[in-house]
């Protein structure tokens, strides 16, 4: 399973021992891991170099905040710098004389045609009158693809077959848009390599004729180190105004976004998050930063946990653990705390590695399992919750009926609870000062058991 950057850094700092300030040596050791994490995320190595240098200057001598470990402190700085580098989200440039023309460019297979339809749908929902234009005259059936998508979202598609030059199609489409009062026009161009001279000339021509208010480079999130050259190539010829990253719903870390953003300096505008045409998100730098660092969205999770779980709760739990009296009441309390953090599907997405760990477990089922667990505990009397030993066969039958589950479900939960109790006791014995500290604010280790135990 894949280790998050914080874990890796934690182990590095464990070796170094704790210090009040980050020394140059600490930072150097830590940044080696950061460098590796970024390279594994496909951030271009030159970009990584500059970035690491920047973080280094900022991190040396920084006082480690009392609430954080040195590892977390470094990650915090890295994360802030990443967010800074990824820049602020920017909207489409729809001002000026209508129609506003949006031109999508990129390599083959980046997802331009699908993205064109997604943008059209997004605009239509926002009350605009978009027109899709099929200017990819090379790829077989590219025009049909756009037509089919246009029909699905009820947006007209202008096309002139494959014999008319793309620039002419763009010109005619712009005229049509003015006549029929379409106020935004989305140009789907053919995929091309940035080194294909002939094709790049065509793109320049289209741009000259269409005078787009937005030229957006569509980049596949899986792109490797080459992203930099691709972006430079396109930017040099058609002056990009923004970026769109597609296929972010896979498990690629999307470091290419950072590279491309760095070399072009233009903002990232949207993310393509799925195959359906509604799967379009405005870009959010913090989420992408977490992803690039392979941290899931742990920061958001920690924030939410801090907002929802009070210090007293955490301390009370810690004491219970140390004393070894963890009962169903506490179990229920923990369940509710987790539920407060948001839908399970969201939570899992935020925990690094959770997606892999939960493979084969349907999140909706997990959510159901959670509900069943709560129902079962709710059907116990207070006494039963405190003294689970009371739960004999007759009581179990009653609980099953009361909670709308089966005796097997109840048995399963009790068994699980016993195991958990045993584990907690062990933790309690081992814990004391140091162990207790680590647990604070964190989530119980066997979340998976709690979700996946049923169904």
Partner 1 sequence: MFRRLFGKQDEKTEDEVKLEQSLQKTRSGILGRISTIFQENEITDELWDELEETLIAGDVGMSVTMELVEKTRRRVEQENIKATHDAYVILKQEMVKLLASDEPLHIDEPRILTVVLVVGVNGSGKTTNIGKMAHWYKNRGRKVVLGAADTFRAAAIDQLKVWGERAGVDVIAHEPGADPGAVIYDAIRASQESRKADLLLVDTAGRLQTKFNLMKELEKIKAVASKQVHRAPHEVLLVLDGSTGQNAISQVKSFRESAGVTGIILTKLDGTAKGGAILSIKRELGVPVRFVGTGEKIDDFALFDPVAFVEGLLAE
CA torsion, ordered 216, 222, 224, 226, to nearest 10 deg = -30
Nearer to partner 1 among residue 431 and residue 452 (C-beta): 452
- Distance of closest approach, residue 56 Cβ to partner 1, in angstroms: 18
| 242: β partners | 216
User: Are 403 and 372 in contact, with CB atoms under 8 Å apart?
Assistant: yes
Contacting positions for partner 1 (CB under 8 A): 36, 39-42, 44-46, 107-111, 138-142, 144-149, 152, 193-195, 220-227, 229-230, 247, 249-253, 255-256, 275, 355, 359-360
- Distance of closest approach, residue 437 Cβ to partner 1, in angstroms: 33
Could you check whether the bond before residue 99 is cis, i.e. omega within 30 degrees of 0? yes
- Distance of closest approach, residue 218 Cβ to partner 1, in angstroms: 10
Nearer to partner 1 among residue 291 and residue 385 (C-beta): 291
User: Are 131 and 176 in contact, with CB atoms under 8 Å apart?
Assistant: yes
Q: Please give the distance of CA 308 from its chain centroid, rounded to a whole number.
A: 22
Distance from C-alpha of 331 to C-alpha of 322, rounded to nearest angstrom: 15
Other C-beta atoms lying within 10 Å of the C-beta of residue 418: 11
- Distance of closest approach, residue 367 Cβ to partner 1, in angstroms: 16
- Distance of closest approach, residue 93 Cβ to partner 1, in angstroms: 26
Distance from C-alpha of 106 to C-alpha of 191, rounded to nearest angstrom: 6
User: Are 272 and 244 in contact, with CB atoms under 8 Å apart?
Assistant: yes
The kind and range of the H/E element at 163 are none
- Distance of closest approach, residue 11 Cβ to partner 1, in angstroms: 18
Nearer to partner 1 among residue 185 and residue 221 (C-beta): 221
- Distance of closest approach, residue 361 Cβ to partner 1, in angstroms: 10
- Distance of closest approach, residue 108 Cβ to partner 1, in angstroms: 7
Nearer to partner 1 among residue 123 and residue 358 (C-beta): 358
Nearer to partner 1 among residue 106 and residue 242 (C-beta): 106
At 40 the three-state DSSP class reads helix
Distance from C-alpha of 152 to C-alpha of 157, rounded to nearest angstrom: 11
Backbone Cα Rg of the chain: 27
User: Are 349 and 355 in contact, with CB atoms under 8 Å apart?
Assistant: yes
Phi and psi torsions of 427, nearest 5°? -60, -40
Q: Which residue has the tokens 């066997």?
A: 446
Nearer to partner 1 among residue 226 and residue 327 (C-beta): 226
Nearer to partner 1 among residue 336 and residue 356 (C-beta): 356
Nearer to partner 1 among residue 136 and residue 330 (C-beta): 136
Phi and psi torsions of 281, nearest 5°? -125, 145
At 127 the three-state DSSP class reads coil
- Distance of closest approach, residue 137 Cβ to partner 1, in angstroms: 13
Nearer to partner 1 among residue 95 and residue 140 (C-beta): 140
Here the tokens at position 292 are 């690039």
Q: Nearest CA to 40 among 244, 351, 258, 220?
A: 258
């Amino acid at each position: 399973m894949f280790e998050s950057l914080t874990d890796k850094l934690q182990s590095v700092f464990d070796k170094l021992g704790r210090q009040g300030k980050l020394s140059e040596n600490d930072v150097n050791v830590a940044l080696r891991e950061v460098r590796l994490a970024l390279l594994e995320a496909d951030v271009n190595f030159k970009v990584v170099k500059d970035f690491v240098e920047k973080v280094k200057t900022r991190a040396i001598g920084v006082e480690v905040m009392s609430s954080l470990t040195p590892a977390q402190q470094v990650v915090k700085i890295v994360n802030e710098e990443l967010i800074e580098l990824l820049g602020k989200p920017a909207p489409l440039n729809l001002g000026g004389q209508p129609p506003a023309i949006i031109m999508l460019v990129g390599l083959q297979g980046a997802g331009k045609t699908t993205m064109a339809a997604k943008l059209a749908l997004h605009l239509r929902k926002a009350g605009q009158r978009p027109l899709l234009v099929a200017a990819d005259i090379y790829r077989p059936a590219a025009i049909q693809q756009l037509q089919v998508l246009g029909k699905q979202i009820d947006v007209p598609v202008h096309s002139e077959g494959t014999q008319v030059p793309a620039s002419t199609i763009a010109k005619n489409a712009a005229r049509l848009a003015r006549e029929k009062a379409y106020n935004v026009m989305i140009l789907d161009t053919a995929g091309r390599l940035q080194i294909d001279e002939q094709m790049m000339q065509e793109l320049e021509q289209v741009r000259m004729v269409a005078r787009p208010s937005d030229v957006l480079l569509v980049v596949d999130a899986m792109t490797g180190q080459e992203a930099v050259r691709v972006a430079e190539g396109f930017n040099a010829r058609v002056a990009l105004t923004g970026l769109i990253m597609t296929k972010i719903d896979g498990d690629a870390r999307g470091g290419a976004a950072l590279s491309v953003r760095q070399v072009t300096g233009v903002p990232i505008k949207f993310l393509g998050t799925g195959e359906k045409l509604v799967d379009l998100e405005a870009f959010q730098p913090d989420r992408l930063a977490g992803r690039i660092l392979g941290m899931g969205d742990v920061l958001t999770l920690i924030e939410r946990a801090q907002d929802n779980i009070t210090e007293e709760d955490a301390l009370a739990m810690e004491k219970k653990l140390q004393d070894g009296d963890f009962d169903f009441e506490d179990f229920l309390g923990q369940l509710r705390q987790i539920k407060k953090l948001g839908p399970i599907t969201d939570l899992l997405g935020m925990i690094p590695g959770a997606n892999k760990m939960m493979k084969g477990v349907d999140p909706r089922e997990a959510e159901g399992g959670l509900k069943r667990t709560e129902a079962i505990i709710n059907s116990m009397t207070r006494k039963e919750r405190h003294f689970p030993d009371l739960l004999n066969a007759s009581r179990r039958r009653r609980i099953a009926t009361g909670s709308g589950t089966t005796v097997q479900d109840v048995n399963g939960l009790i068994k699980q609870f016993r195991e958990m109790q045993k584990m907690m006791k062990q933790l309690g014995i081992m814990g004391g000062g140091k162990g207790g500290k680590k647990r604070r604010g964190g989530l119980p280790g066997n979340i998976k058991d709690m979700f996946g135990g049923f169904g």
